Amino acid sequence: MQEQNKVRIRQFVEQFQPLTDEAWEDLSALFTYAELKRGDYFVKEGEYNDKLAFILEGALRAFYLDTKGDFYNKTFFVENTFAASLASILQNIPSFLNFDALIDTKMWVASYQRMTQLFDKHHCIERMVRKIIEYEWVIKKEQRELRLVLTEAAERYAYFQEEYPNLETQIPQYHIASHLGITPIQLSRIRAQRRGKGTTKK
């Protein structure tokens, strides 16, 4: 792992929990560099994959496929975030979700199970993992689900822009619409309205 990339991931995880140098050396040794081309899968529905990825560049999506072959984009994982089929990993069952690359993606990949083997030796790693899971997979998940139920489509779009500020220009509009629970036509109208308001304010 390149030194500059070591700094990036350590800075990210230490927002949640400081690590000793020894703990960081053991943790960083678990990660290997990987790349996905647009459309490549990281996790497939029906398969077990205990890998987690720290995104260096690019973006992954987690999505459901229904019996008709239609998809729903549950969430996106962008630069400086972790991606994993966490429910599958924690329950040791096949994933209900698919994860693929929306654009060419560079990342670090590590086995979650191997990471847990460091918990007894380095309690700071265990605390770090717990805090990241609580924030990324519990708190943020609940916030997204509440927005889908309690807010109008235009407001959900505004939240999307805030959470993923650089993603909109890199992926097709229908992926965003799927995530927001609206049609691409509805999204086009919302974007046009927002552009119109921006022009009026000027």
pLDDT (tens digit, 9 = 90+) per residue, 51-76?
Answer: 999 999 999 999 999 888 889 999 99
Q: Identify the pLDDT of residue 3.
A: 60
Cα separation, 64 vs 98, whole angstroms:
6
Domains contained in the chain, number: 2
| Same domain, residue pair 130 and 179 | no
Q: Identify the pLDDT of residue 4.
A: 63
Q: Identify the pLDDT of residue 201.
A: 43
| Same domain, residue pair 138 and 169 | no
Q: Which pairs from 140-144 meet CB under 8 Å and 24+ separation?
A: 141/75, 144/75
| Same domain, residue pair 22 and 97 | yes
| Same domain, residue pair 45 and 136 | yes
| Same domain, residue pair 141 and 163 | no
CA atoms within a 13 Å half-sphere pointing along the CA-CB vector of 127: 12
Q: pTM of the full predicted structure?
A: 0.89
Q: Identify the pLDDT of residue 194.
A: 84
Q: Identify the pLDDT of residue 202.
A: 39
Report the DSSP beta bridge partners of residue 43.
99
Cα separation, 145 vs 76, whole angstroms:
14
| Same domain, residue pair 128 and 60 | yes
Cα separation, 115 vs 103, whole angstroms:
28
| Same domain, residue pair 97 and 121 | yes
3-state helix, strand, coil in the chain (%, to 5): 45, 25, 30
Q: Identify the pLDDT of residue 140.
A: 87
| Same domain, residue pair 70 and 160 | no
Q: Identify the pLDDT of residue 199.
A: 43
| CATH code of the domain covering residue 54 | 2.60.120.10
Ranges of the chain with pLDDT below 50: 1, 199-202
Average pLDDT over the chain reads 92
| Same domain, residue pair 142 and 96 | yes
Quote the domain boundaries for residue 200: 152-202
